[in-house]
Amino acid sequence: MSFIINGLLLGGTYALIAVGLTLQYGVARIMNLANGENLVFACFMAFWLYTAFAINPILGIVIIAPMAFVINWLIYSYAMRPLVNRSKTSGQLEVNSILATFGLLFILKGLMKFSFGGGYFTYNYLAEGISIFGHNYGLNRVVAFIAAAVIAGTLYLFLNYTRYGTAIRAVAVNPTSASLVAINVPRASAFAFALGGALTAASGALLSSFYTFHADMGMDFTMKALVIVIMAGVGDVRGAVLAALMLGLTETAIATFVDPGLTAAGTYGLFILVLLFRPQGIFGRSNS
């Protein structure tokens, strides 16, 4: 049974990454394929803050997330908005944003490899056991899960119970109508893109406390996030949390019962199944 709890603990962190991606794609309409690099960058930041200044990763989020927010705001304003303005159809925007974020992905990955090298990184933060239902789990995992749950809960309250949160949800549903009711769509898009980046960075900081990371792993996490987003249905925050927990469980189950070498294959397998049978998402509503 311990794999269930392990899976849920892992899924908590995945949820934040996926919610970040779903905000960027669902609201700002940019499929940010460099989202994983954003996460890895946050891992390195947390590592650096912890080893150089003894700032623990939970506290580190307070520094890392606002920084990611600013960087992502700038990326949206200077790199993505010209594409939004230039593209005549949503298809063109899609192709352009895919190519541009691929560019971003490789540049960020290259810079991180250049700065930190291609090695594996890990550090010891709360690396002690905690007993739940008679099994031992890493305390850092549990803490990361709780932190992720708090952040996700705050986001949920923000999106559903504040004016600006409602505006962002309106843009997600229909940008044209949103602008008709005096919502500043370009600003809401930039905000959602930046917020998505900040959430992903927060999850990166949490992940780094219990996960061995390296400069090359960004793409894997982008894929995981995509699988979750698509399973949930684009823009569906609650669905993303559920789907993330499902993915965490699936991965842990495969690693426990089949072969750890096949976890990523499991992710893709799940992804392919979802695309084939429920392309609108498990929780998404059918359009037709």
Partner 1 sequence: MSRLNKIFSQISKQEKRIALYCAIAFAIIATLPLFDQGFYLSISVNIVMYIVLCTAWSLFSGPTHYISLATAAFYGIGTYVVAIGIKDIPYPVLLVMAAIVSGGIAGIVGLATLRLSGVYFVVFTLGLSELIRQIVTWVQTNFSGSSGLYVFTDIREMHVFWQLLGLAVIVYIVGWLINRSRLGFAMQIIGNDETVAKHLGINTAISKILLFMISGAIIGVVGAIMAPRFSYVTPPSAFNPIISFQVVIMALLGGTKRLWGPLLGVIPFTILFDQVGVYFPDQTSIVIGVAFMAIVYLLPNGVLGLIETIKQKFTSSTKKEDPT
Residues at the contact surface with partner 1, assessed by CB under 8 A: 25, 31, 82-83, 91, 94-96, 98-100, 102-111, 113-114, 118, 223, 226, 230, 259, 261-262, 264-265, 268-269, 271-272, 275-276, 279
In this structure, what token pair is assigned to residue 262? 């096949």
- Indicate the residue among 176 and 287 with the shorter CB distance to partner 1: 287
- Indicate the residue among 53 and 268 with the shorter CB distance to partner 1: 268
Residue labelled with tokens 């352009």: 96
In this structure, what token pair is assigned to residue 275? 């695309």
- Indicate the residue among 111 and 150 with the shorter CB distance to partner 1: 111
Residue labelled with tokens 């250049």: 114
Minimal distance, residue 134 CB to partner 1, in Å: 33
- Indicate the residue among 147 and 215 with the shorter CB distance to partner 1: 215
Minimal distance, residue 67 CB to partner 1, in Å: 21
Q: Cβ distance 19 to 237 under 8 Å?
A: yes
Residues 6+ apart with CB under 8 A from 257: 3
Minimal distance, residue 31 CB to partner 1, in Å: 5
The single-letter DSSP state of residue 32 is -
Q: Cβ distance 23 to 236 under 8 Å?
A: no
Minimal distance, residue 172 CB to partner 1, in Å: 16
Identity of residue 223: M
Identity of residue 29: R
Of 195, 207, 176, which is closest to residue 12 (Cα–Cα)? 207
Q: Return the exposure string of 122-142: e unless at least 16 CB atoms fall within 10 Å of the residue's CB, then b.
A: ebebbeeeeeeeeeebbbbbb
- Indicate the residue among 63 and 71 with the shorter CB distance to partner 1: 71
- Indicate the residue among 96 and 179 with the shorter CB distance to partner 1: 96
Minimal distance, residue 42 CB to partner 1, in Å: 19
